[in-house]
Amino acid sequence: MKASPARVATLALVALLPGQQVLGQGAKDILDQTPVRVKAANPVTNGSSIKFGAAVALDGEVLVIGAPGEDSETDPMGFDTGSAYVFEHEGAVWVEKQKLTSPSEAPFEVFGTSVGVALGDEGVDYLVVGATGGTGSAYVFKRMSGGSWVYQATLAQDEPQAGDRFGASVAIDYFEPNNSQNGDKVFVAAVGAPQNRDPAGTGSQEGSVSIFQAGSTTWSGPQEFFGENGDLMGTALAMAADTVVAGSEGLDGTGFNGGGAFTILAANQQPSGVYKYNLASTMQPSDPEVGVGQGLSVAAEYKPALLVSAAAIGFPLSDKVALNAGLVLIFGLNSVSSPYTESAVIEPTGLGQGASFGTSVALSNQILAVGAPGAGTDGAVFLYDMGATIETWILAGSLTIPDLPPVGACRGGEAVALDGVTAAVGCPSLNGYDNEGTFVYSGSSFSDGFESGDTSVWSATVP
C-alpha cells in the first residue's frame, strides 16, 4: 500500500487476554501446517473481485468471511450489496454452511465490510456483520438448533447520519464480567462509526463506538462513546472480555494524526442485568509519527486462564524502518494507566518499502499474527510467540500465500484471525475472484477425496 500525497495511512488494532503460555511452540504449530484455500461455492462474481477475505473472524469451528464487493443474486442493479460466508470445521474439512446477506440488500451497502463471531457454552451462538452503506448498519445472526444462522436484529446508533460509516468495525465476545453478581456470562457486541459526528460536540468526525448486550430476545443499547474532533474513533474494534479497544486513526495526542486507541471498560451491573461501560484511557505511541494512524482492521480473542492482558496496534504505513514498511506496538493492560505506553515495539524483519506490516493483527494464546499484504507477490503473515514477559516477542516465521491462478495477485494478510493453532488469512484482490480467497492453516489433515482439481483449492461442500 502506498501513501497518498496527503499521507493517508493505515492503523490496525486488536486486543486480547491470552491463555497459558507455551514459549516458542504455539506459532510453530501453525507454521507446520499446509494452507487450505477456502472459497465460496457459487458467488456472484460477474467476472470481478468480490473482496472475499476482506474481513475474517474465527471462533472454534466457525469461520466467517466477508465479501463486501459481491453483487445481489436477485437484483440486476444490486451492485456491491455484499455478503458474508459461514464455514464450519467438520472432520477434516471446512464446509460452507451458509451465505448471509443483508435483510435490505441495498446497492452499495457493502455488507461484510466487518465480521465478528462468538460461540457460547450453552448452545447459543451469535455473529455480527457490518455494512457501511448509507448511515451504516450492523446485523446480528443467531445460530439455531438445526445449525442454520438466522437474522435476529439490526444494531443502530441513536442519531444516524449519512456517511457515519457505522459498521466499519464490529466486535463480539462471550464472557463472565469480573463484577458479575450471579456468575452468568453475557454476549456483548461493539460497533464502530469512525466518521460519526457527536451531536453534542462542535467538531467533526469525532467517531463513535456503540455497545450492545444480548438479552433473551433483544439487544440492549446502544451505550455510545465519542472521540474528540477528528479522532475518527471506531476505525477498528477489538474485545477482550470486559475491555473494548477502539482504534482511533485521527487521534493526535503525542503527534498529529499519529493514531492510537481508546479503552472502554465494563463497570457496574445494572438491576436489569445490563453492564454499564465507561471510557477509560488511551493507548498511543511514545515516539509518534505524524499522519500514520489512519484506517484499520481488527480481530480479538479472550482466554479465561490469564497470564497477561495485552493489545497490539499495527501502523502499516510507518516509515521508521522504510517508507510504509510498517510497525506494531504491544501494550500491557493488566493495570489501568492513563495513557498506556507501549511494552514492546515490533519492527518488520527483512521487509522493505511498501510492505504494510501491521495492516492486520491478531492475538491468541500469546501468539501474535501480523499481516503484511505488501510483502512479495501475494502478501504474508508473520507469527510471533511471546517470551517470558510481554516486553519480548520472538519471530517464529511467516505464513506465505500460495500463488493464485490465473494472473494477478491478492493481498494476503489484509485480514487475519487466530484461534488456538488455527489461523485464517484473508487474501482479497482487485484482479477478479479467481485471484482471491481465504487460506486456513489448521491442525487437521485433509482428505484427497475433497480435492477440487487444483491442489491449492478445496471445494466448499462435501459430496
Query: CA-CA-CA-CA torsion for 165, 326, 21, 61, nearest 10 degrees?
Result: 40
Do the beta carbons of residue 248 and residue 261 sit within 8 Å? yes
For residue 16, is pLDDT > 80? no
Q: Which of 175-179, 234-238, 424-428, 444-448 has the lowest mean pLDDT?
A: 444-448
Cell numbers that stand for 231 in this block: 479522532
Q: Tell me which amino acid residue 121 is.
A: D
Q: What is the per-residue pLDDT across 181-223, written as a single tens digit (0 to 9) for each? A: 777 899 999 999 999 988 877 678 899 999 999 988 899 989 9
Higher pLDDT, 268 or 165: 165
CA pair distance 142, 127, nearest whole angstrom? 7
Higher pLDDT, 334 or 452: 334
For residue 365, is pLDDT > 60? yes
CA pair distance 425, 277, nearest whole angstrom? 32
What are 416's strand-pairing partners?
425
Q: What angle do CA 70, 75, 81 make, to 5 degrees?
A: 30
Q: Which of 118-132, 208-222, 286-300 has the lowest mean pLDDT?
A: 286-300
For residue 385, is pLDDT > 80? yes
Of 317, 349, 311, nearest to 329 by C-alpha is 311
Q: Residue range 264-276: average pLDDT?
A: 84
pLDDT at 273: 81
For residue 294, is pLDDT > 80? no
SS3 at position 30: helix
Higher pLDDT, 289 or 96: 96
Q: What is the per-residue pLDDT across 149-162, written as a single tens digit (0 to 9) for each? A: 999 999 999 989 89
Distance of CA 22 to the CA centre of its chain: 24
pLDDT at 446: 33
Average model confidence (pLDDT) for the chain? Answer: 83
For residue 9, is pLDDT > 70? no
For the whole model, what pTM was predicted? 0.89
Q: How many Cβ atoms from other residues are within 10 Å of residue 417's Cβ?
A: 31
- pLDDT confidence band for 177 (50 / 70 / 90): confident
Q: Which position has the grid cell 448452545?
A: 123
Q: Tell me which amino acid residue 343 is.
A: S
For residue 457, is pLDDT > 80? no
For residue 7, is pLDDT > 60? no
Do the beta carbons of residue 77 and residue 106 sit within 8 Å? no
Query: How far are the Cα atoms of 33, 136, 264 from residue 51, in angstroms, in the given order?
Result: 25, 19, 31
CA pair distance 208, 299, nearest whole angstrom? 18
* DSSP single-letter state for residue 286: S
Do the beta carbons of residue 292 and residue 319 sit within 8 Å? yes
Higher pLDDT, 404 or 455: 404
Q: What is the share, in percent, of the chain residues with pLDDT greater than 70?
A: 83
For residue 407, is pLDDT > 60? no
Distance of CA 220 to the CA centre of its chain: 23
Of 446, 399, 442, 435, nearest to 39 by C-alpha is 435
Q: What is the per-residue pLDDT across 52-65, written as a single tens digit (0 to 9) for each? A: 999 999 999 999 99
> How many residues appear in the chain?
463
pLDDT at 450: 29
pLDDT at 198: 83
For residue 396, is pLDDT > 50? yes
For residue 356, is pLDDT > 90? yes
CA pair distance 441, 31, nearest whole angstrom? 8
The backbone region for 230, taken as left when phi is positive above 0, alpha when psi lies in -120 to 50, beta otherwise, is left
For residue 168, is pLDDT > 60? yes
Domain boundary assignment for the chain: 12-445
Q: Which of 18-27, 69-78, 401-410, 431-440 has the lowest mean pLDDT?
A: 18-27
Cell numbers that stand for 368 in this block: 501474535
Cell numbers that stand for 61 in this block: 469451528
Does CATH place domain 12-445 in 2.130.10.130? yes
For residue 401, is pLDDT > 90? no
CA pair distance 114, 237, nearest whole angstrom? 10
CA pair distance 249, 203, nearest whole angstrom? 16
CA pair distance 246, 39, nearest whole angstrom? 30
Q: Tell me which amino acid residue 427 is.
A: C
Do the beta carbons of residue 249 and residue 358 sit within 8 Å? no
Q: Examine residue 339 and say whether the peptide bond preceding it is cis (omega within 30 degrees of 0).
A: yes
pLDDT at 405: 62
DSSP β-ladder status, 12-17 and 301-302: parallel
Q: Residue range 316-323: average pLDDT?
A: 90
